[in-house]
Amino acid sequence: MRQLIIIGSGPAGYTAAIYAARANLQPLLIASSVEFGGELMKTTEVDNFPGFPEGIMGPDLMTRMQQQAERFGTEIVYDDVTELELTGDVKRVTLGSGEVHEARAVIYATGSAYRKLGLPDEERLSGYGVSWCATCDGAFFRQKKVAVIGGGDSALEEATFLTRFADTVYLIHRRDSFRASAAMQDRAFADPKIEVIWNNEVKHIYGDEKVTGIGVVDTVDGTETTLDVQGMFVAIGADPRTHLVHGQLDLAPEGTIAVDGRSSRTNLPGVFAAGDVIDPTYKQAATAAGSGVVAALDAEHYLAGLEDAEKAAAVPASV
């Protein structure tokens, strides 16, 4: 049986793997089949990860983390976890392929999934003008009008990125101020192609084959406006990916996995959690990486404790 399995391949998962591998735990990391590398795989320049003064492309940063984890002996599997049994002393991880892996400890670092608006036509027009990835789809909106929904860092970053292609970017936010960082806001406000529409929510997405417009409603006075756009990019945040551990791990009121104080310890012995899945507040690549370190050190400590207990038990009782 393995010592440690790490689930997730974002900054938290890979950093945990780097530390655990260097501690000779020979971790197995389950990276996911298509979402490996996590959220940064969908970004362009990352300018706030320390050590890269010129900035670095998100996918390149993640490839480097992966290589660093592998350099010290992490084994990586590109598959998805379909089932987890975390309650016993032996943790069982079932993959999409049907393979089952067992370990004495698990680090759960699955990050979060994009939130949807929840509109009836959102799914139908997804990929036909409705998008969750500006860097993937932005180039198809050259000289067109698009809308970005949201008010956080990712919404403003997407809006700024889309001005490379689109003629007009409507930035639609349901409040009258942004949560995004000051640097992001300054950049967005200074951009002549970005038009901010405050206090508005999307109520309709129009289009048969593809998006032809959206209907927004003023949250203050109820006025409805139709915007003629060909693309809509949704950036209204993300929810922690906890569905695999429901009923096994306790959740915090925010929906993240509950951990003990500043540690990564969950309610189950031998199960640790790290990164965005435990963090309702900061959600940065650098904080996730730090959280991965905490989890690896906690897991190492836990495994050392098990070994000590076994050694003590193996000593014959003195007569």
Q: Which is nearer to another protein, 27 or 58 (CB)?
A: 58
Instruction: Give the DSSP letter of residue 141.
Output: G
Q: What is the DSSP letter of 244?
A: G
Question: Which of 135, 160, 264, 266 is in the footprint of another protein by CB under 8 A?
Answer: 135
Closer of 34 and 182 to another protein (Cβ): 34
Reading the block at residue 115, the tokens are 């939130």
Judging by DSSP bridges, how do beta strands 91-95 and 168-172 pair with one another? Answer: unpaired
Active-site residue, 153 included = no
Among 99, 123, 124, 136, binds another protein (CB under 8 A): 136
Continuous segment of H or E residues that includes residue 273: strand 271-273
Residue 117 binds another protein, judged by CB under 8 A: no
129 touches another protein (CB under 8 A) = yes
**Residue 128 lies near another protein (rule: CB under 8 A):** yes
End-to-end CA distance of the chain: 34
- Quick check: helix, strand or coil at residue 217? strand
Of the candidate residues 13, 35, 279, 292, the single one contacting another protein (CB under 8 A): 35
Q: How many residues bind another protein (CB under 8 A)?
A: 30
Separation of alpha carbons 212 and 157, rounded Å? 24
Number of Cβ atoms within 10 Å of the Cβ of 208: 10
The one catalytic residue among 136, 176, 228, 260: 136
Residue 241 and residue 177: Cα distance in Å, rounded?
28
Q: Is 37 in the site for another protein (CB under 8 A)?
A: yes
42 belongs to the binding site for another protein (CB under 8 A): yes
**DSSP string spanning 108-132?**
E---EEEPP---TTTTTTBTTTEES
Binds another protein by CB under 8 A, chosen from 10, 23, 80, 270 = 80
Does 41 engage in binding with another protein (CB under 8 A)?
yes
Say which DSSP state 316 is in: P
Question: Does 198 help bind another protein (rule: CB under 8 A)?
Answer: no
Query: Which of 79, 133, 218, 239 does the annotation list as catalytic?
Result: 133
DSSP class of residue 285 equals: H
Residues known to be catalytic: 133, 136-137
Residue numbers of the site for another protein (CB under 8 A)?
32-37, 41-42, 44, 58-59, 79-80, 96, 126-129, 131, 133, 135-137, 139-141, 209-210, 230-231
